Amino acid sequence: MDAFKLLTRSTKLKSATQSSSVSTRLPSTGRAENPQLFRTSTADGILEEKSQGKKRKRGYRAEEVHATDDDALNLDFFSQRKSSAGGNSDATAVKGQGVPANRDETSDSGDDESMDEVQRRTVLNSHKIKITDMRDLEEADHGQAGSEEPKKKKKKRKHHEEKQQPQKLSKKEQKKARRLFPQPLVSFKELRTRYKISRRLAENIHEQGFTVPTEVQLGSLPLLLRGSVASDTSDPKSTEPDLLVVAPTGSGKTLSFMIPVINKIVRYHHEKSEERGIFAVVIAPTKELASQIVNEGRKLAVGTGVKITLMKKGMRVVEHDNDTEGEMLNESESESSWLESDEKIAIKNQPANPVTKSDILVSTPLLLVNALSANKTKSLATLPLVRNLVLDEADVLLDPLFRDQTLDIWRCCTHSELRASLWSATMGSSIEDLAKATIKERKLSVTRAQSYQLIRLVVGLKDSAIPNIKHKLVYAATEQGKLLGLRQLLHPTAASASDLRLRPPFLVFTQTIPRAIALHSELLYDIPPEAGGSSRIAVLHSDLSDTQRSEIMKGFRKGEIWILVTTDLLARGVDFRGINGVVNYDIPNSAAVYVHRVGRTGRAGREGGVAVTYYTKEDIPYVKSIANIIDTSERLRGESGERSVQKWLLDALPDLSKKHKKELKKHGVKARQSNAKGVSDDKDRRRTRISTKSGFERRQENKKKGAIAASRKRLQGSAKSDGGSDDDGWDGIED
C-alpha cells in the first residue's frame, strides 16, 4: 500500500466530526441518510462499483482488500503495487446497466458470481456480518466422534493423515473455516435484475423509498432468494436454507423476511393458480407487533395478489371434522338453554365462520393454537400447505412462556419443503440448540421431509445494543428520587451535568401493570391544559381491551400522545420511527430486555436517540449486566470521549448468580412485585410506592392550579383590553 492511499484513508476521519455535529438532530426530525450501522470506505467503494456495473482488473490482488479487513495490523507498508492506484480507473472498468456481462467465475459459491470471494469477504466483514453454516458444524462433530473408532488402519499413513488433518483444528478454527461469504445485496435494484423477484413487488419496494439495504437485508435477502435464481435445486448451496438471524433492533428484519415470502407465493400462484391456502405463517409474541407486520406486509403486497391476514378471535384457519362441529353446536345449545325457542333456532341456523382464505397468516401463538384445536381434548389440526414458518422475536417465542404453543405450531406445519426462519435482536445459545433439535425432530417425524442448510447470520456484536443512541445510567436512591429525576428530565430548560435532555415523544417502561397505572396517574397533570393536558399522556398494558390498545397506538403514532407509559408489552419489535428517547423507570428484568427496550429509539440508523435508566438501592445487584451492555455499545460506536459508565463503577458492581438471574427474569425486582412476600411492612410498601399522594389530593392540587391559571388569564385579558400584549406561552413541563 502506497503512502498516498494511507493519507487518503486518514482523511476519512472527517466524517466522524461531521456526524457529531449532525447527531444533535432528534430521531423524530426525519429519515436517516443511511440506515446502515456499520460500514467502511473500502466496502462502500466495492458496493458502488458493483451497483454501477463496474468490474476490476483481472490482476486485482486479494491483499488490497484484506488490508481493510479485520487483520489490518498485518499490512505490508513497503510492498510495491502498481495496480493499487489505478485499480478503479475508467479505462479498466466496464460500465453497464445492471449485471456486468463478463463475470468472474473463480468463486466457489452457488450464488451470483459478480464478486469474487475476497470482495465478498471484505463487504461482509466491514459491515460486521458473520454467516455460519450450523448444519456443517454438527456434521463435523459427528464425523469426529466416528473417526475415533477405527484405530487399526495405520498402513496407509498418507491417506489417513489427509483425513485426520481437518480434525486437528480447534473449535474456534473450525468455526472460522465454516464461515460463509455469499454474494451481498448491493442495492434493492438487484432484487429485480439479479434475483428476478416479482415486478410488482419490486415496484412496491421502490415506492416505499427503500434504496440502500441495511446490514441484515444485505446479508439475508440473497440467502432467502436463492431458490428464485437457482438452476440446480439439488445442490443445497443453491436452495433456500433454514435461517437463524440475530440483528440489532430497528435494522429492517421485517422487510428481510417478508420480501422472500411474498415473492415465493407470487411465483407459486403463477405456477399453480388453482391451489390456494395458507402458504406462510408468521408468529409474533404480541398483538401490536403482529398488527405492525401485517401493515408492512400489505404495503409490499399491493397488486401482487398475495393476501395477508391478521389472526383474530373466532377466525377459522382449517376445516375441522363434522363430529367436532356437532359437539361445539351442542355445547352452544346447552349454554343457551335459557334462551327462547326463536333465539335457539336463530343460533342453529347461523352459519359457522368460513375458513379464512389467506396466503400469509400473522398471529400470536395462543390465538393460532386455539384455532387449530377443535377442542381442548382433541389433537391439533395440520397446516399441510405452509412452506415458510417465520418466528419474529424467536427468543421469546421459544422461552418457557410461549415455547409449547410455538413448538405445537411448528409441528403442525407438515409440508416436506418447510423452511423455518428465526429472527431476533437477542438469541441465546439455548434457543439455537432448541431450534436445531426441533429441525432434527421434524426430519424424523415428517415423511419425505427434505434436508436444508441451517445458517446463522449475526450482525454486529451478538446481544448488544445499537451503537447510534446515547445511554445514561442514573442513580436515584429511592422511588421518590426516580420521580423527581423523571420530572427534571422532562423539563426542556433543565440542563443536567451532561446536558442530557429528553424531548417528547418518548416511552416510559415499568416493571408491572400496577406501577404503570400509578406512574401514569402521577404524571397526568404535569402538562398544562394549553399544551393538551392529560390527553398528551397515556398508559398501555395487556389488561386493556384490544380496541383501547389500538386507539392508544394510533394516537401515539399520530403524535397526539407525547408520553406513553407501558410495560414490556411494547419492548419488542414495535416500530415507532419518531421516538426521541426511552426511559427505563424500572430496571429491566434482563440484559436482553434492556437491548429491546432501548431499541425503540434510534431505529433505521437515526442518530440522537436517548436511553435513560434509573436505579435505586434495591436495584444495585442487577445493574452490572446493563452497565456492560452500555459500555460495549459505546466501544462499538468508537467514541473516545467520556464514558457513560466508568470503569470503577463496573468493577464495584456485584456479579449476579445464575439463580438470581432466573428469578429476576421471571419476577423482576422483588421489592416491586405486585404481591411481594417479603414486603409486608407498611413502611416498606410506602418506600416502593411511586407516589406518596393519593389520587384525591392530586385532583385537588390540579383544581387549585386550574383556578390560579384562570385568574391569571382574566388578569391578562383585562391588561390586553388596556393595550397590553400577551407574550405568555408554555415553556415546557413544569417540575
Q: What is the pLDDT of residue 29?
A: 73
Write the pLDDT tens digit of every residue in 11-49. 344 434 343 333 456 787 767 767 887 776 666 677 666
Residue 196 has pLDDT above 80, yes or no: yes
| C-beta of residue 565 within 8 angstroms of C-beta of residue 537 | yes
| C-beta of residue 673 within 8 angstroms of C-beta of residue 667 | yes
H or E element, residue 360: strand 360-363
| C-beta of residue 227 within 8 angstroms of C-beta of residue 197 | no
Where in the chain is CATH 3.40.50.300?
A: 185-321+354-460, 470-695
Greater model confidence, 496 or 91 = 496
User: How does residue 570 score in pLDDT terms, banded at 50, 70 and 90?
Assistant: very high
Neighbour-count burial of 219, counting CB atoms closer than 10 A to its CB (0-12 exposed, 13-18 middle, 19+ buried) = buried
**From CA 606, how far away is CA 300, in angstroms rounded?**
23
Write the pLDDT tens digit of every residue in 641-655. 667 888 888 888 888
**From CA 690, how far away is CA 522, in angstroms rounded?**
8
| C-beta of residue 210 within 8 angstroms of C-beta of residue 187 | no
| C-beta of residue 211 within 8 angstroms of C-beta of residue 604 | no
**From CA 494, how far away is CA 56, in angstroms rounded?**
56
Q: What is the pLDDT of residue 614?
A: 95
Q: What CATH number matches the domain at 185-321+354-460, 3.40.50.300, 3.90.1300.10, 1.20.58.1610, 1.20.1240.10?
A: 3.40.50.300
H or E element, residue 332: helix 322-335
Greater model confidence, 60 or 526 = 526
Residue 586 has pLDDT above 70, yes or no: yes
User: How does residue 9 score in pLDDT terms, banded at 50, 70 and 90?
Assistant: very low
Q: What is the pLDDT of residue 1?
A: 44
Lowest mean pLDDT among 191-200, 256-265, 429-438, 521-530: 521-530
Q: What is the pLDDT of residue 347?
A: 41
Greater model confidence, 552 or 88 = 552
Nearest to 360 by CA among 300, 411, 320, 314: 300
**From CA 198, how far away is CA 297, in angstroms rounded?**
15
H or E element, residue 281: strand 280-283
**What percentage of the chain has pLDDT greater than the value 70?**
67
| C-beta of residue 220 within 8 angstroms of C-beta of residue 124 | no
Note the pTM of the prediction, 2 decimals: 0.77
The contacts of residue 193 (CB under 8 Å, 6+ apart) are 98, 99
Neighbour-count burial of 628, counting CB atoms closer than 10 A to its CB (0-12 exposed, 13-18 middle, 19+ buried) = middle
Neighbour-count burial of 578, counting CB atoms closer than 10 A to its CB (0-12 exposed, 13-18 middle, 19+ buried) = middle
Q: What is the pLDDT of residue 103?
A: 36
Q: What is the pLDDT of residue 344?
A: 46
H or E element, residue 132: strand 129-133
Q: What is the pLDDT of residue 577?
A: 78
Greater model confidence, 338 or 377 = 377
User: How does residue 683 score in pLDDT terms, banded at 50, 70 and 90?
Assistant: low
Q: What is the pLDDT of residue 174?
A: 77
Instruction: Write down the mean pLDDT value for the chain.
Output: 76
User: How does residue 70 score in pLDDT terms, banded at 50, 70 and 90?
Assistant: very low
Instruction: Characterize 370-385 residue by residue with b for buried, 16 or more Cβ atoms within 10 angstroms of its Cβ, and e for exposed.
Output: bbbbbeeeeebbebeb
Q: What is the pLDDT of residue 85?
A: 36
| C-beta of residue 457 within 8 angstroms of C-beta of residue 130 | yes
Most confident of 24-33, 172-181, 298-307: 298-307
Tallying the residues shown for the chain, one arrives at 735
State phi, psi for 91 to the nearest 5 degrees: -70, -30
Write the pLDDT tens digit of every residue in 468-509. 889 999 999 998 899 988 888 877 554 444 456 788 899 999
Which residues on adjacent β-strands are paired with residue 565? 508, 539
Mean of pLDDT values over 499-527: 87
Residue 98 has pLDDT above 50, yes or no: no
Q: What CATH number matches the domain at 470-695, 3.40.1010.10, 3.40.50.300, 3.40.630.30, 2.130.10.10?
A: 3.40.50.300
| C-beta of residue 390 within 8 angstroms of C-beta of residue 421 | yes
| C-beta of residue 213 within 8 angstroms of C-beta of residue 141 | no
The CB-side HSE value for 336 (13 A sphere, CA atoms) comes to: 16
Q: What is the pLDDT of residue 234?
A: 56
Ramachandran sector of residue 100 (left: φ over 0; alpha: ψ -120 to 50; beta: rest): beta
Write the pLDDT tens digit of every residue in 346-374. 444 445 678 888 999 999 999 999 999 86
**What percentage of the chain has pLDDT greater than the value 90?**
39
Q: What is the pLDDT of residue 11?
A: 39
Nearest 5°: the CA angle 579, 367, 675 is 70
In the block, residue with C-alpha cell 488433518: 165
Q: What is the pLDDT of residue 722?
A: 60
The order of strands in the sheet holding 454-459 is 179-180, 129-133, 454-459, 242-246, 419-424, 388-392, 280-283, 360-363, 308-310
H or E element, residue 381: none
| C-beta of residue 244 within 8 angstroms of C-beta of residue 457 | yes
Cα dist from 34 to 25, 27, 117, 230, 246, whole Å = 14, 13, 26, 31, 20
Cα dist from 174 to 137, 166, 295, 320, whole Å = 8, 8, 42, 49
CA–chain centroid gap for 177, Å, is 28
SS3 of 559-610: the string is CCCCEEEECHHHCCCCCCCCCCEEEECCCCCCHHHHHHHHCCCCHHHCCCEE
Write the pLDDT tens digit of every residue in 420-450. 999 999 998 999 999 999 998 988 888 788 8
In sign, the C-alpha dihedral spanning 256, 356, 441, 267 is negative
Q: What is the pLDDT of residue 543?
A: 93
Residue 99 has pLDDT above 60, yes or no: no
**From CA 306, how far away is CA 639, in angstroms rounded?**
46
Q: What is the pLDDT of residue 105?
A: 35
SS3 of 285-298: the string is CCHHHHHHHHHHHH
Please state whether the peptide bond connecting residue 514 to the residue before it is cis, i.e. omega within 30 degrees of 0.
no
State phi, psi for 653 to the nearest 5 degrees: -70, 140
Dihedral (Cα; 530, 534, 535, 538), 10-degree rounding: 150
In sign, the C-alpha dihedral spanning 225, 228, 233, 238 is negative
Q: What is the pLDDT of residue 639?
A: 63
Q: What is the pLDDT of residue 571?
A: 93
**From CA 43, how far away is CA 41, in angstroms rounded?**
6
Mean of pLDDT values over 583-598: 94
In 3-state terms, what secondary structure has residue 461?
A: coil
Lowest mean pLDDT among 171-185, 193-207, 383-397, 664-678: 664-678
Q: What is the pLDDT of residue 327?
A: 43
Residue 340 has pLDDT above 70, yes or no: no
Residue 73 has pLDDT above 60, yes or no: no
**From CA 106, how far away is CA 128, in angstroms rounded?**
24
Residue 262 has pLDDT above 80, yes or no: yes
Mean of pLDDT values over 121-133: 92
Longest alpha-carbon distance in the chain? 114
| C-beta of residue 49 within 8 angstroms of C-beta of residue 41 | no
| C-beta of residue 51 within 8 angstroms of C-beta of residue 186 | yes
Lowest mean pLDDT among 74-83, 174-183, 273-282, 287-296: 74-83
Neighbour-count burial of 224, counting CB atoms closer than 10 A to its CB (0-12 exposed, 13-18 middle, 19+ buried) = buried
